A and B are shown apart, each in its own frame.
Chain A
Amino acid sequence: MIEVRGLTKRYGARVAVDDVTFTVEPGRVTGFLGPNGAGKSTVMRMILGLAAPSAGHARIEGRPYRSFDRPLCRVGALLDAGAVPGGRAAYHHLASIAASNDLPRSRVDEVLVRAGLRDVARRRVGGFSLGMKQRLGIAAALLGEPGVLLFDEPVNGLDPDGVRWIRTLMRDLAAEGRTVFVAGHLMSEMALTADHVIVLGRGRVIVDTGMAEFIRTGSRGDVLVRSPHGAELARVLTGHGATVTAEPDGALAVADLAFARIGELAAAHGLVVHELGARQGSLEEAYLRIIGDETDHRAVGAIGEGAGA
């Protein structure tokens, strides 16, 4: 479990993290979302004792991180996959981390296998692709088989195979009862991975809720209607309180009217309908809406979304 209470970080007059409080529970994947510059990485660095809070505190399993003697058996973290010593072989990089916490050398071989890096273990890390560096960073986080894991944008640079591997890994780790805290930008991926969502905007927590709940309340959800009598149907539906917008391909996106009611109205007016489909709201939609509400300058949500991909 990770507990963050009133965590604040000021750089001079600028407040990067502003009175942030949340709890990351074990047994589920908690997604940590927010635009670039919202303070996600700073929060993670404070949880790991790398940066000192200006106020408040963070605890892991009830203790401040810097009180741990050999933390890797309790906490594993991947902050920046690029932060590796280019001249060193993957094996030696992991071996030095393992040694610092008195972990047996056999653990190095085990995590190399688990991360799919066994064949490149003796190669210098500098020649690794970003995807391989992500795997190496995750291998390092798993060295001590910790109960709490923090990942900052772990799917960046991974190929589809790697993305699925990470998704499965995180779900498995949570299913084993571990605490999994993942910061990320890729909404579609986060929607598949996370059970719980914490959204940070301008240094503050703006959402802390279950994934399903967040999508349901944060996004509209609508009904896609395809009809040869589009204009007429739109008029009818609007007359009954629906909000109708035209899709680029001529279909109608109908909101604020029940699915069944749309079909009944079409039938009552003798209008042929070729397709009628309910569309679920997406995490992306819910996220962009909440970020759009929060940001003082509109571009931030869009930039935060684009830069992570």
Chain B
Amino acid sequence: MSGFPVPRGVLVAEWIKLRTLRSTYWTAVFAAVAALGLGAFDLGNLVADWDGMSAEKRAVFDPVRFGFSGGYYVVVLAAGTLGVLVSSSEYGSGLIRTTFTAVPRRRRVFAAKVLVTGVVTLVMGEAIAFGTFFLGQAILADKHLDVGLGAPHVLRAVVATGAFVTVIALIGLALGTIVRHSAGAIAGLFGLFFVAPMLTEAAGDGVRRGTLQPAFQALSSTTGAAEAGRPSTVTAVVACLVWLGVALAVAAWSIERRDV
């Protein structure tokens, strides 16, 4: 996103818009409750069932990844929706004309939206990721299954889990800018996350590993590519950056060219 400066005033303008958008708060609260609540529920069940579990299941148990396998998807999708709305809501209401009349260099607006949305969702994502992690480890401590942040790959997994929220939010922002309709862009984003891995399954693991959901699964685990079908950490990071880069580039290209 370098190559064009973002004046401070344009950043402030986008920050005012984001913090006075009610869906921002709802998204954050909803996501936090879902992640912590469902994560705790899943781990509570697991702890209760642990003694009766088979050795094979115990062997593949990932104390970090498990807490991110249910409720955390709500965080990912909520942040993606927020990202979409940051852009598409302006097209929906017609406010985009006021915005572009005030700032005719449209890429500045887009860059400011990317920065503000990126920082806000990163803070939100990391806070929820670390919150979920610590709550989860407190529950797992009952069976002495808990791990600390210092254990191998644990800090990387938690940080990456939080950062993935930003990746999805910014891809959502790009889709909202390209599609310009909230419902269409949200459907597209969910399709990209949930449907693309299924569609690419036929093309083989190599292709499927390049889609977003397997990348998220790999990044949020401490085992990485050890589990079948998952990309390595490096592949997952590259996949995220490529999807993000392509989405942002297409959005930045189209925003300058189309009438509003």
Contact = CB atoms under 8 A, between A and B. Distances in A.
Interface of A: 45, 48-52, 65-72, 75, 77, 79-80, 82-89, 92, 95-97, 99-102, 140
Contacts of A67: 104
Interface string B1-45: 000000111101110110011110000000000000000000000
Contacts of A92: 16-17, 20
Contacts of A101: 9, 102-103
B95 A50 contact: no
8 contacts: A45-B260, A52-B259, A67-B104, A70-B9, A96-B13, A96-B20, A100-B10, A100-B103
B20 A88 contact: yes
Contacts of A80: 94, 97
A50 B101 contact: yes
Nearest to A78: B98
Contacts, number: 92
B104 A83 contact: no
Given A66-B105, A71-B102, A77-B101, A51 B95 contact: no
A290 to B, nearest CB: 29
Contacts of B98: 79, 83-84, 97, 140
B100 interface: yes
A48 B101 contact: yes
A71 B93 contact: no
B93 A84 contact: yes
B89 interface: yes
Interface of B: 7-10, 12-14, 16-17, 20-23, 89-90, 93-95, 97-105, 257, 259-260
Contacts of A69: 105
A99 B99 CA distance: 11
A150 to B, nearest CB: 9
A12 to B, nearest CB: 13
A69 B105 CA distance: 7
Given A66-B104, A88-B21, A96 B16 contact: yes
Contact of A50 (B16, B89, B100, B105): B100
Nearest to B96: A83
B13 A82 contact: no
Contacts of B89: 85
Given A51-B260, A52-B259, A83-B93, A99 B105 contact: no
A65 B257 CA distance: 15
A89 B20 contact: yes
- Which one of A66, A89, A96 has the greatest number of beta carbons of chain B within 10 Å? A96
Contact of B13 (A50, A88, A89, A100): A100
Contacts of B16: 92, 95-96, 99
B17 A96 contact: yes
A51 B97 CA distance: 10
**A-B residue pairs, 4 tightest by C-beta:** A83-B94, A100-B13, A51-B259, A96-B16
Contacts of A86: 93
Contacts of B103: 100-101
Contacts of B105: 66, 69
Contact of B95 (A85, A89, A95): A85
A92 B22 CA distance: 13
Given A96-B13, A99-B9, A87 B100 contact: no
Contacts of B101: 48-50, 71, 75, 77, 79
Contacts of A84: 93-95, 98
Contacts of B93: 83-86
B6 to A, nearest CB: 11
A45 B259 contact: yes
Nearest to B11: A99
Contacts of A82: 94
- Which one of B16, B20, B94, B98 has the greatest number of beta carbons of chain A within 10 Å? B98
A100 B99 CA distance: 9
Contacts of A100: 9-10, 12-13, 99, 102-103
A29 to B, nearest CB: 21
A49 B22 contact: no
A291 B191 CA distance: 51
B87 to A, nearest CB: 13
A83 B99 CA distance: 11
A83 B98 CA distance: 8
Given A50-B101, A84-B94, 11 more contacts: A45-B260, A51-B260, A67-B104, A79-B101, A82-B94, A83-B97, A84-B95, A96-B13, A99-B9, A100-B10, A100-B99
Nearest to A9: B259
Nearest to A100: B13
A85 B95 CA distance: 7
Given A66-B104, A87-B22, A96-B13, A50 B94 contact: no
A102 B102 CA distance: 11
A99 B13 contact: yes
Nearest to B21: A87
A69 B16 CA distance: 20
